[in-house]
Every structure is written in C-alpha cells, then in structure tokens.
C-alpha cells in the first residue's frame, strides 16, 4: 500500500476524536492495547469478505444489527444472549423466506464509541463534553464523568473480549442449533403479534430438517453452528491503530478488533484521517452514505479505499431518510454502475429518520423506517442493481424507543423503558416484525428484478 503506515492517518485532519488532558497516559494505554492479543483472526476476516462478495453477486443477504452504542453495563450473559437471539430469529425468518444464505453481522463487541453532532452540551448552566460512548466518557451528566479518560479504552478492549468470548462459546456449544430454534425465544416474545407466524416457520423448518435427515440429506454438524461476525464504527483512530496487526502469512494489515469496521457519515471526508487509515487495512469496509454525499465524492472514495476493485471489500450503507432517498439514491447507484466499481449495497433506514418524540426523547417511526427500506429496494430494482443487506439499530430487550409497528408504541409510552444512551432502537417485537416485512420485500422485488432482466 503506497505511502501508508498504521499511523499515517496522523498527518490528516481527524474528526470526532476526543481530547485527552494527559497525552502521555493516552499513549501508554494504546501501547498496552497494542500488546494485547487480537480479538479476531485474519482467516475469519477473509471469510466474511468472501461472503459479502457473494451478497454483492445476489447469492446471499446481509443482516447487520445491534445497539447504537454498547454500554459496559450490558456486558452480561442476559443482554448478550438476547442480542444474539433476536439476530438468529430474524435470520431464520429471512433465510426461510428469501431462500438465501443470511450473513449475520452484529454491531457488538466493540461498538462503544459514538460520533456526535456537537462535542459539548450545557447541563445545569455548565459546559461539559457530550457523551461520546463508554470507551471515552461516562453518561452521567457532570464535568468529571464527561471528561475523556483513556483508561476507558482499556475497559472497551476487555468488554469487547468478554462479549466476543461468550458469543463464541454460545455458538460452539450448539446454541445456534437449528434443531432447537425455540431455545432462542426471548422473554415475552410470545406476546408479539408476529409470534404465530414465527411458530409456523419454525414448524416447517423442523419438518424439513427431519425429512432431510431421514435419508441422510442433511448433516447434523452443518445445522448446529453458524457463522457470526462482529462489526463497529472505526471511529477512535488511536484505538483502531492499536488493534491493527500485520498478518505474517499474507503480509497484509488487518484491524483485528472486529471482522468488519465502517466509516461513519461524519468521518468520510475524502482528505480526512479516517479515509487514510481505512485505505490500508484489508478488512471488509463499510461506508455510511448519507444525503450530503455526491456521486463525484463517492467515486473518489471508492478509488481510494478499493483501488484494486476487490469484490467484498466495500459495503455502501445508505442512510438517506425516507423523504430524500428518491432524489439522491438513484444518481449514486447509476454513477457506481457506470464507473464499474464493484460494491455491495446495504440500507440503513434508521439514521436518516430520527425525530424528537414527546418533546425531548429521540425516536424513529416504524412506518417511516419501512418506507425508506421499500423505496431503496425499488430504486435498486429499477436500476438493475441489487440491495444486498440491511443495517439496523435493534435490541433483544423490551425497550420503548421507536414508535409504531404492530405493537403500536406511542409517543406517550417512550418513557416506559427508554434505555438507549444515544439513538433509539427497534425492540424485539418490532425487530421480528421487520424481518417478516423484509422477507415480503425480498419476494416482491426479486420477482420484479426477474421481470426487468
């Protein structure tokens, strides 16, 4: 990689980076993290890249989801299990409905930092730092708690390691075994309006498994484990550099803090430090593409981040907002197609549709989220393109953060169980419902694509 080193990003302007009062302490912390073991293995990263390439070729579909910003206090057995459960249940629905392999990527085991529109806020007349994620400062709104502390980066590493270790143990121990899908049931999920539909799908899957196994057409070992990958926004460049290692076999550099990392909407400056860092790593890279992104800017970013036009390298995660997607997305899709760049398209219908509910709490409307998703599918179909995945902020908990859905959550109910420190998430019932609706969209739009081909 020409003129690239793990720290060459330091010569560029870095956005959304915390200011530490003790640079020496910060440096020592990063040195400690650099000496720690990697959290993932290069072979796993390569495997994900290959699977993402298949999604771009219409042979698979990506389900990426998890919390807006993970909290250290959620690094416990119940929270982690519930998060994996809802992603597994959604993947079963999508696999059965779409008849395609579902690539499962969690926003988990490292999503502890969060970009903010303002780095400061005023609380009780005092100017303090905004909450930037548990890896930077504490959510408690006072000056001491909000002061960035590099020691929290060490905590971020250890919480990521513990989370990933538990996920691996669950999967290796057979938790994802398709023979026992009811093991994934979440507390009170039977109350979801979509629960009877899910039961029908499970019954049909179990019947199909029994049929296949009766004459040796399915191997048990192929049904009791799944591939599960982790991802987070590569926001804090010092930490990401510390997790970057050179693979002795391939001589390539990988960020081994996650299988996939992405560049956010606020940090994808063509001449910025994040783009400089990301251009040198061999991980599959996600890039959030919002309504301010022009076709020229996007093509320049692709030429920098993927000069060899490698399949599976770049996933473009569009997040336009339902009211803007029709005006902006078609031009970007056409520009990428005309350029010959190989990308995998994904839709994040959450981030462009945030509103203020009941006067103060941020929320998102389920119907508006679905509307952007529907419009994105249609735009890709009309342009002979393929929407290969979805990206959601969701949780397996019974939270009250997004309004609407079949549960008909209202503004007045937001305060009932609003536990996100940043952005609102779909709760378990809304997530399950969304999986069914995506399945319908896949059916409808694949049929449309075949008729247009």
Q: How many CB atoms lie within 10 A of CB 269?
A: 17
Percent of the chain with pLDDT over 70: 87
Q: Whole-number mean pLDDT of the chain?
A: 89
Distance CA 165, CA 388 (A): 29
pLDDT attached to residue 89:
81
Average pLDDT of 50-71? Answer: 96
- Are the CB atoms for 110 and 235 separated by under 8 Å? no
Which token pair is 424?
A: 């609102």
Q: What is the pLDDT of residues 258-292, one digit of tens each?
A: 999 999 999 999 999 999 999 999 999 999 999 99
Q: What is the pLDDT of residues 108-135, one digit of tens each?
A: 999 999 998 888 999 989 999 999 999 9
Confidence of residue 95 (pLDDT cuts 50, 70, 90): confident
pLDDT attached to residue 443:
76
Average pLDDT of 303-312? Answer: 98
Q: E strand or H helix at 318, and its extent? A: strand 314-318
What are the backbone angles phi and psi of residue 123, rounded to the nearest 5°? -125, 120
CA–CA–CA angle 71, 77, 80 (5° rounding): 55
- CATH class (in words) of the domain with range 8-452: alpha beta
Which token pair is 223?
A: 């049904």
Question: Which has the closest alpha carbon to 290: 323, 254, 266, 326?
Answer: 266
In order of 16, 152, 161, 205, the CA distances from 157 in angstroms are 19, 9, 6, 38
Q: What is the pLDDT of residues 330-348, one digit of tens each?
A: 999 999 999 999 999 999 9
Q: Which residues fall within 8 angstroms of residue 345, CB to CB, at 6 or more apart?
A: 56, 315, 316, 318, 333, 380, 385, 386, 387, 388, 389
Distance CA 419, CA 70 (A): 11
Distance CA 301, CA 305 (A): 6
Better-scored residue on pLDDT, 181 or 10: 10
How many residues appear in the chain? Answer: 453
pLDDT attached to residue 181:
55
Q: Could you tell me how many helices (H) and strands (E) the chain has, helices first?
A: 12, 14
Lowest mean pLDDT among 12-16, 42-46, 243-247, 434-438: 434-438
pLDDT attached to residue 406:
82
Average pLDDT of 212-241? Answer: 73
Q: Domain extents for the chain?
A: 8-452
Distance CA 114, CA 267 (A): 12
């Amino acid at each position: 990689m020409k003129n690239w080193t793990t720290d060459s990003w330091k010569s560029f302007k870095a956005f959304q980076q915390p200011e530490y009062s003790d640079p020496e302490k910060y440096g020592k912390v990063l040195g400690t993290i650099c000496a720690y073991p990697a959290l993932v293995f290069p072979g796993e990263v390569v495997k994900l890249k290959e699977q993402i390439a298949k999604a771009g070729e219409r042979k698979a579909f990506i389900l990426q989801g998890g919390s807006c910003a993970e909290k250290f206090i959620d690094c416990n057995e119940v929270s982690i299990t519930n998060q994996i459960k809802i992603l597994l249940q959604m993947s079963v629905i999508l696999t059965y409905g779409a008849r395609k392999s579902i690539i499962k990527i969690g926003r988990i085991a490292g999503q502890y930092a969060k970009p903010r529109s303002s780095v400061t806020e005023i609380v009780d007349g005092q100017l303090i730092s905004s909450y930037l994620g548990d890896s930077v400062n504490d959510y408690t709104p006072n000056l001491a708690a909000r002061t960035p502390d590099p020691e929290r980066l060490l905590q971020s590493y250890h919480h990521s390691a513990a989370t990933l270790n538990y996920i691996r143990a669950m999967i290796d121990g057979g938790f994802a075994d398709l023979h026992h899908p009811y093991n994934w049931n979440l507390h009170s999920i039977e109350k979801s309006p979509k629960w009877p539909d899910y039961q029908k799908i499970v019954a049909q899957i179990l019947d199909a498994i029994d049929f296949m196994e009766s004459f040796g057409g399915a191997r048990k070992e192929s049904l009791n484990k799944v591939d599960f990958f982790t991802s987070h926004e590569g926001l804090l460049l010092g930490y990401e550099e510390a997790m970057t290692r050179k693979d002795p076999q391939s001589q390539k550099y990988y960020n081994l803090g996650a299988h996939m990392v992405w560049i956010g909407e606020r940090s994808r400056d063509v001449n910025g430090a994040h783009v400089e860092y990301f251009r040198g790593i061999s991980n599959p890279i996600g890039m959030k593409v919002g309504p301010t992104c022009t076709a020229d800017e996007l093509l320049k970013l692709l030429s920098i981040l993927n000069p060899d036009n490698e399949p599976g390298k770049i996933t473009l995660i569009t997040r336009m907002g339902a009211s803007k997607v029709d005006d902006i997305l078609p031009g970007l899709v056409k520009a990428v197609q005309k350029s010959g760049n190989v990308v995998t398209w994904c839709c994040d219908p959450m981030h462009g549709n945030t509103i203020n509910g009941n006067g103060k709490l941020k929320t998102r409307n389920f119907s508006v989220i679905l509307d952007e998703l529907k419009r994105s599918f249609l735009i890709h179909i009309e342009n002979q393109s393929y929407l290969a995945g979805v990206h959601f902020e969701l949780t397996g908990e019974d939270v009250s953060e997004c309004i609407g859905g079949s549960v008909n959550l209202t503004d007045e109910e937001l305060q009932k169980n609003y536990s996100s420190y940043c952005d609102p998430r779909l709760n378990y019932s809304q997530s399950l419902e969304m999986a069914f609706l995506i399945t319908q969209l896949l059916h409808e739009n694949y049929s449309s694509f075949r008729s247009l081909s």
